[in-house]
A = this chain, B = another copy of it.
C-alpha cells in the first residue's frame, strides 16, 4: 500500500489522507477488519502531526467507514452502533457527481469518453470492494511505505 501525499496541493492534508483510505477501501485493498496504523504512527510515517491524521480518522468514523477504540486502534468496519448510514448521502453524492461530470463536459471532453473513463475506474473497484473481506487482519501500513510528493521549494 502506497499512501502518497502532495504537500503543495490545495487539498488539505487530512482530506488527502481520508481520500486515499477511501480509495483503498473501494479497491478492496483494505478489507473489513483490517487494522489501520495508529494516528501517531501514521503521522510519523507521513511526517505530519498526529492531530492531522486524527482529523482524517474522525472524518472516516463520521462517515461510518471505520471503527475506533483504544484497545485495537482504528479498524475498517461499518460500526453497527454508529447509527444507520446517512440517508442524505445519495443525494449529496449525486450533486457532487453532477458538478464533476459537468466540469469535464464543459472542458470539451466527449460525454462518451467520460463514460468510458468512469467505467475504467469502476473496473478497478470491481466486485472485491469492501464488506467482502474475510476478517483477516493484514497490516495496512508499516514503517516506511509512505510517500510524500512535493515539499519545500
Q: Provided the pairs A105-B125, A111-B125, A118-B118 are in contact, do residues A98 and B23 lie with their beta carbons within 8 angstroms? A: yes
Q: Provided the pairs A89-B107, A108-B130, A130-B108 are in contact, do residues A25 and B102 lie with their beta carbons within 8 angstroms? A: yes
Docked complex: A20-39 residues within 8 A CB-CB of B = 22-23, 25-27
> A117 and B104: CB pair below 8 A?
no
> Which B residue's beta carbon lies closest to that of A19?
B99
- In the complex, which of the residues B94, B96, B105 contacts A26, with contact meaning CB atoms closer than 8 Å? B105
In angstroms, Cα B118 to Cα A72, docked, is 38
Could you give, for residues 106-133 of chain A, a 1 whenever the CB lies within 8 Å of some chain B CB and a 0 otherwise? 1111010011011101100111011100
Chain B CB within 8 A of A53 CB = no
The residues of B that contact A22 with a CB separation of less than 8 Å are: 99, 102-103, 106
* New A-B pairs, 7, CB < 8 Å, besides A85-B107, A98-B121: A65-B107, A85-B108, A93-B103, A97-B118, A100-B100, A102-B125, A111-B127
